[in-house]
Structure formats: C-alpha cells, structure tokens
Amino acid sequence: MTTLLQVKDLQVQFPAAGSGLFNLRPRKVSAVNGASLNLAAGETLGLVGESGCGKSTLARAILQLTPSCGGQVLFDGTDMNQGNPVDIARLRRETAMIFQDPYSALNPRQRIGQILAEVLQVQRKVPAAQIPARVGELLELVGLRAELAERRPGSLSGGQCQRVGIARALAVEPRLIVADECVAALDVSIQGQIINLLLELRERMGLALLFITHDLGVVRRLCDRVAVMYLGQIVEEGPVHEVFTAPRHPYTAALIQSIADIDPARRLPQDPLAGEPPSPLNLPSGCAFHPRCRHALPGCGDTAPPEHIQGARRHACVHPQLPC
C-alpha cells in the first residue's frame, strides 16, 4: 500500500495564559511535541490517548487548521507545512473532517440540503445543475432518506446529524477523513450504526481514516493500526491485534487494562496507572511518562527514551519489551 500521509516530528505550541504582565514572560504549551505517524491509502489508523494529550491538535495540524511550528506533514508526498496556497487548496479538496458533537458541527439555520450543497459549490465538485441530485445521492450513501434534505438539524436525532456530518465529509470525495471522537456523543446502539457505516464506506470507496478516540473498544473493532499518544508524543504504534494482545509500552498496557469490559468475571484492575497526566505546561524531563511508570529506571528522567522498531511496530521506551 502506498503511504498517503506521513507526519514527521510534528511540533505544535500554543501561548499559555498567565504569561506575566505585558506578556513579559511568554510561556508555551507544547500540545504536540515531536509526533510521527504514517497512514497508507485505504487504511484506518486509530489515535488514542487521554484527554489533553494532543490528539485533536495533532489532527487539526495535519489538516493545516492549526499552525504547526516544526516538523513535516507529507500528504501525498508534498510537505503541507511548507505548502503554498495551491497545495493547501488541494489538501482541502482531498481531506475532510468529522466532528464530535454532531449538533454543534452543523449550522442550525441551514437545511440539510443547503449544508451539503454548499460544500459541492465551493469545491466545484459537480456542475450546479446536478447539485440537488448529488445531495440526494450523498444522503442515501449514509443511509438517510433524500427527503431529509428539506429538514434542519434541530429536527434530526444525534445519530442522523452525525450521518449528515459524514455525508458532508464525503461530499468532497476525500482520500483522507479525520474523524475526531465522532461516536463519543452517541448512544451505544447508534454508535454501532455509525461505525458500521464507516466500515462500509471505507471498503466501498477506499478511504483512509484517521480515527481519534479515547474508547479503545471501538478502535479494536474499527481500525487496522493504532497509535497511542501521551503528552504530545506517539509512544506506541502498530497493528491493532498485536498491540492489544501484547502491548510493549507500559502506558499502552495500562490503557488496555483499564477498558471497562462487560465480562462480569473480570475484576477492576488493581491500580492500572498511578496519578494523572502532568500539565503540558511543565513537561517532565526525559521520558514524559516516567513519573507514572511502574517500570521506570533511574535514567528515564534524564534522557528521552530510545525508539524500538520491530516489523510493523514501533514504541518509545527504554525497555525493548514490556517488563513483567
């Protein structure tokens, strides 16, 4: 499979609040701190991590919706961080995003048909005369009746709104869709419907999907590969089945242990992970995870962990294998 997206050592910083009087002591938050990942055409990559670890910022920086301050975002071989307006316009035509809250992602005053037609007009995907027909097609593609084009978001359910969000993303006929927590706000029975829809669309259209979530159970069902993020860095990446059965980074292991399983015989983990993530304003030295890590060695606080690459898997830890 050809690589569609390659992110190399991406850095995103924001100015922090409380930077002193007249901004004399500027402080920066490193939301994404040297993250790297690859996504092949037609592949689904799950991006997981705790809230605040920089998942959404990374996604927005990939789509050039948030400026990055270092590293590369190679989309189809072009570095979009250095991209000229023509490159960025191409990125906009070939990528799309699906958001977490389906209600706030849609304009409540527009009809569903207008919401979809607007994308088609702006991106000039089809001649003006064919727009209504294409809107109908898109709605059918996501399993909605074409009559819904006349309705407004307020009269649709959450699941239906999320389907409209997906239809809007599909309107540009993208090669890459970034879905940011797109099922988190939905009930389980509806969540399954949306995941099945994404699975089906991926097969039918050969879409690459970057699926951001904090729900590891969903990743196991939907994704080919998974990247685990902690405090702005990717700590482990690999095929979903391998990572879930034998995690190599202690953080991944703790996350997988904490999944609330429906098996009543399984007990709650004793203490999967001590404490809570430190503030990104004040990142720990060396390995960012070392203060919470039960396998930390004395040197972990001094030097950044080495990266181990074994086959399709990659993880950043002093230990080449997860210690027992």
Partner 1 sequence: MTTPLLQVRGLSVIARTGQRDITLVDRLSFDLGEGEILGLVGESGSGKTLACRGLMRLLPAPNLRVEGQSVRLAGHDLLQLDEAGMRRLRGRELGMIFQNPSSHLDPLMRIGEQIAEGIRLHQGASRREARAEAIEVLRQVGIPDPQSRVDNYPHEFSGGMRQRAMIAVALGCNPRVLIADEPTTALDVTVQAQILRLLLELRDRRGLSMILISHDLGVVAQTCDSIAVMYAGRLCEHGAKHEMLARPRHPYSAGLLACHPAAQPEAVRMTTIAGQPPLLDDLPAGCRFESRCPQAMPLCRQQLPELLEASPGHRLACHTPLLAGGLS
> Which residues bind to partner 1, rule: CB under 8 A?
50-51, 157, 159, 187-193, 195-196, 199, 214-218, 220-221, 254-255, 257-264, 266-269, 271-273, 276
C-alpha radius of gyration, the chain, whole number: 21
The answer to whether the CB of 237 falls within 8 A of the CB of 315 is yes
Any residues with CB less than 8 A from the CB of 250 and at least 6 apart, and which? 289, 293, 294, 295, 317, 319, 322, 323
38: Cα separation from own chain's centroid: 13
The answer to whether the CB of 170 falls within 8 A of the CB of 5 is no
Q: Provide, rounded to whole angstroms, the least separation between the CB of residue 279 and partner 1.
A: 9
Q: Provide, rounded to whole angstroms, the least separation between the CB of residue 273 and partner 1.
A: 4
Written as one string, the DSSP assignment of 133-168 is HHHHHHHHHTT--GGGGGS-GGGS-HHHHHHHHHHH
Residue placing its CB nearer to partner 1 in the complex, 85 or 275: 275
Any residues with CB less than 8 A from the CB of 103 and at least 6 apart, and which? 153, 158, 161
Residue placing its CB nearer to partner 1 in the complex, 123 or 193: 193
Q: Provide, rounded to whole angstroms, the least separation between the CB of residue 221 and partner 1.
A: 5
Residue placing its CB nearer to partner 1 in the complex, 147 or 261: 261
What's the burial of 218, exposed, middle or buried (CB within 10 Å: 0-12/13-18/19+)?
A: buried
Residue placing its CB nearer to partner 1 in the complex, 74 or 195: 195
Residue placing its CB nearer to partner 1 in the complex, 175 or 225: 225
Q: Provide, rounded to whole angstroms, the least separation between the CB of residue 130 and partner 1.
A: 32
Q: Provide, rounded to whole angstroms, the least separation between the CB of residue 176 and partner 1.
A: 23
Q: Which two tokens stand for residue 207?
A: 């879409």
Amino acid at 125: K
Residue placing its CB nearer to partner 1 in the complex, 7 or 243: 243
Q: Provide, rounded to whole angstroms, the least separation between the CB of residue 171 and partner 1.
A: 25
